[in-house]
Chain A
Amino acid sequence: MNTRLLSRGLALALLLGAVPASAQQMSEQQLVGSLRNVTQAAPAVDVGVLVQELEANAGKGVADLPAWHALAQLPQFTLDVEFENDSVGIEPESYRTLGVIADALHGPLLRDYKFLIVGHTNATGDARHNLKLSSERADAILQALTTTFSVPGSHLIAIGVGQELPLEGTDPKAAANRRVQLVNLGIAQ
């Protein structure tokens, strides 16, 4: 292995000792624990059908539609990724979250699976704009994971559902609905 890479990596490891432990909401263990929970009875969800259902029901919500309902049964984790207002720029404060996802997806427990990245917005503003924004944001996350962290492209799909799938029991405009879901679709073929 390249010695220079290693000594730089080691230098980073040393610097890390000086970093105060930050209050991180999410750990690799939590993420892996939620995402690995694959059962035999896991429904096979076709992402194409998810998209079809979404397009046919824009503005009406998708929670009760068959493929989206099936998606809710799969092992998943909800994350907070902060973006610059009305842009696809990921805030520096959220870089660590991407790193945790990369750690989890590269690990032996999850590296053989395929994952869906679902971008959500809350219900502030235009529904169609939110759909587009959430899609572009989910794709930005996918780009970072597959290029910066070399997660295999065949193991990730990104879609945006806009404001069409708010958290149950919440006000659709609540900030909590601005979120990212990571869903385990099963073994990558």
Chain B
Amino acid sequence: MKIRFAALGGIMLAASFASAGVGVAQTVSYADAMTMLTRDCGADVKKFCRGINLGNGKLANCLGEHQAQVSPQCTSTLASVIASIQARLAAQASVFKVCASNAAMHCGGVQGEANIVQCLVKTERIDSNACNQAITNAGWR
């Protein structure tokens, strides 16, 4: 546990040295999260939760109910995937709030969310660290 924390701490420290304000993404795409889920839980899903879907928490519930039989890697990855999805959702929801003043200052007059994001990506060097990190975590850079 200590080693893992140290490793994470190391990564986060390295991340803080990365290019001004942007840092390393702390979330993954929904697609990549699903790739992990398939890789680590696919076999268990076919064995214990055949025909049960993503959606409404049913798949997670099923895997949870069979936790004693499901591989530990699957159980661990499932938790990480759920957290990762939530983290990315939160990041995406936060961008326009966190970047509001930057958008007003540097992208005034730009219409449309897509164009505003594009403008914020271009003005990365003068935007706040918080705004830049939110855009990175949203997967919109």
Contact = CB atoms under 8 A, between A and B. Distances in A.
Contacts of A87: 51
B22 interface: no
Interface stretch (B33-41, B64-72, B100-108): B33-41
Contacts of B27: 6, 9, 13
A102 B30 contact: yes
25 contacts: A2-B87, A9-B80, A9-B83, A10-B8, A10-B12, A10-B24, A12-B28, A12-B81, A13-B25, A13-B27, A16-B32, A89-B53, A90-B53, A90-B54, A92-B37, A92-B45, A95-B38, A95-B54, A96-B34, A102-B31, A108-B118, A143-B55, A144-B53, A145-B55, A146-B55
A12 B33 contact: yes
B81 A84 contact: no
A99 B34 contact: yes
A79 to B, nearest CB: 13
B87 A5 contact: yes
Interface string A1-23: 11011111111111110010010
Interface size class for chain A?
35 or more
A93 B34 CA distance: 9
Contacts of B18: none
**Interface SS of A by simple majority:** helix
Contacts of A42: none
Interface of A: 1-2, 4-16, 19, 22, 28, 84, 87-90, 92-93, 95-96, 98-100, 102-103, 106-109, 111-112, 140, 143-150
Contacts of A144: 53-55
A18 to B, nearest CB: 10
B56 A147 contact: yes
B128 interface: no
Contact of A95 (B26, B37, B90): B37
A103 B31 contact: yes
A149 B85 contact: yes
Contacts of B16: none
Contacts of A149: 30, 85, 89
Nearest to B95: A108
Contacts of A9: 26-28, 80, 83-84, 87-88
